Amino acid sequence: MLRGSDRHKLYFVSRGSPNSGIYIIMLLLLMGQLMSGHRMPPAKQIVTVLLCFVVAVAIHEFMHAFVALKLGDPTAERLGRVTLNPVSHFEPFGFMGMVLISLGYNFIGWGKPVPVNPSQLKVFPPEQRHRAMALVALAGPLTNVALAAITAIFLRTMRGTDAQTGDIYYVISWFFWVNVLLASFNAIPLPPLDGYKIMVGLLPRFWTPVLAPLERYGFLILFLIFFLGGRIGSSLTGEMIDPVRNFLVRILL
């Protein structure tokens, strides 16, 4: 999302910071989820899924910050974001979403958005800095794909052996699915997800100011699609996530 600063405008890749209205909507949705009579998964699954999300999201956000730094913008580095320490990428409501997902609820989780100053990105000329922003945005989901690919190698190696029934296989399999989910979800071309920044970077420059107003209401649009879509018919987010998810699973496993 777009935020003003003293001299420049900063863009936040990954999920932008939702405003207070979105927090209220989240709390209402949370109350609805908690009153739905949901049956909890096993404690082992809850802990494993939550840890997988924390690690995968931390690496995802680190890569946003790292690529921005390599492209010339030290903003995230100055804020201590070029690190794999999950604490540096902690966002309270986003973490709450991860907890709810691990508990088996239908929710959205995210890490603290990484600030990027487009004027500091030197790899492209000024009129093409939206291309550089697309590279920074692409770094997150592409990293999740790479992590899923690495874990898939281990899963294929252990399949059909005694290790397939062990705890290591259990953790690795969940780490695979979490990374596939993060990559697929972030590929949705809606603000404030990475897919939107990637789409803007690929489109001609003319579309940047045309699509910019969407960023103001991106979180609200995303929540409406995610939570209401499944209640008026087939899940809209499922229709957007499934093609990428199924493709990744097919080529990796």
Coil, strand, or helix at residue 182?
helix
pLDDT at 228 over 70: no
Give me 6's structure tokens.
């003293």
* Distance of alpha carbon 138 from alpha carbon 198, whole angstroms: 6
Specify whether the CB–CB gap between 33 and 40 falls below 8 A.
no
The full DSSP string for 123-159 is SS-GGGHHHHHHHHHHHHHHHHHHHHHHHHHHHHHHT
- Residue 55 has which token pair? 């690690």
- Give the least confident one: 55-69, 115-129, 174-188: 115-129
On average, the pLDDT of the chain sits at: 85
Task: For residues 6-16, give the mean pLDDT.
Answer: 49
The confidence score (pLDDT) of residue 1 equals 29
pTM of this structure: 0.86
Model confidence band, residue 14 (pLDDT cutoffs 50, 70, 90):
low
4 sits in which H/E element: strand 2-4
Contact between 185 and 241 under an 8 Å Cβ cutoff? The reply is yes
